[in-house]
Amino acid sequence: MQFIMHPIGIIHTPFTERDGTPIQASRSETRGSVDIFPEFEEGLQDLEEFSHIFLLYVFHESSGFSLLVKPFLDDQLHGMFATRYPFRPNPIGLSVVQLITRKDNTLEIEGVDILDGTPLLDIKPYLPEFDVRTGTRNGWYEARKRG
């Protein structure tokens, strides 16, 4: 089975190198923008009514992967799927960012943890009623915080 995806836009940020890029959107107050290609602009209708959005994108500077990795926040090896490490079999990234404004096909966002020039695959609204979970377990990350 093969999937072919095409970008719907480009994400612009001040981050041009992996070093210095925040490791999670929730740890960033940096602003950026998203230019949606004109043929997809109509799909942005009503998006400005949401305060936060999910951005799904390609880790375009990532190549290769390992099934065991040391994530940025730990010094122990963990299974790659138990981390948010960017080197993955399918280099797809996911960030929740604050939507500041929308002007035509450009979105101004805050809380970016994404490299400049990143191809955008999709946008979805963040809805706390569906997206917030309680009673979660946080695996190795929780154990790291206690240690």
Per-residue b/e over 67-91, b at no fewer than 16 CB within 10 Å? eebebeeeeeebebeebebbebeeb
Read off the pLDDT band of 73 (50, 70, 90): confident
| Structural domain of 22 | 9-146
pLDDT category of residue 90 using cuts at 50, 70 and 90 = very high
Residue 147: pLDDT band (50, 70, 90) is low
Domain of 82, CATH number, reads: 2.40.30.70
> What total number of domains does the chain contain?
1
Tell me the average pLDDT of the chain.
89
Whether the CB-CB separation of 91 and 23 falls below 8 Å is answered with no
Mean pLDDT for 28-45 is: 94
Q: Could you tell me if residue 4 is inside a domain?
A: no
CA–CA distance, 121 with 58 (Å, rounded to integer): 7
Answer yes or no: is 1 within a domain: no
Quick check: is 142 in a domain?
Answer: yes
Query: Is 83 a domain residue?
Result: yes
Whole-number pLDDT of residue 142: 82
**pTM reported for the whole predicted model:** 0.87
Between the two ends of the chain, the Cα-to-Cα distance in Å is 43
Q: Give the pLDDT band (50/70/90) at residue 15.
A: confident
- β-partners of residue 119 are 10
Nearest-CA neighbor of 110 among 52, 46, 59? 52
**Residue 27: pLDDT band by 50, 70, 90 thresholds?**
low
pLDDT digits (tens, 9 = 90+) for 105-140: 999 999 998 899 999 999 999 999 989 888 888 888
Q: How many CA atoms lie within 13 A of 2 on its CB side?
A: 1
Residue 93 lies in a domain: yes
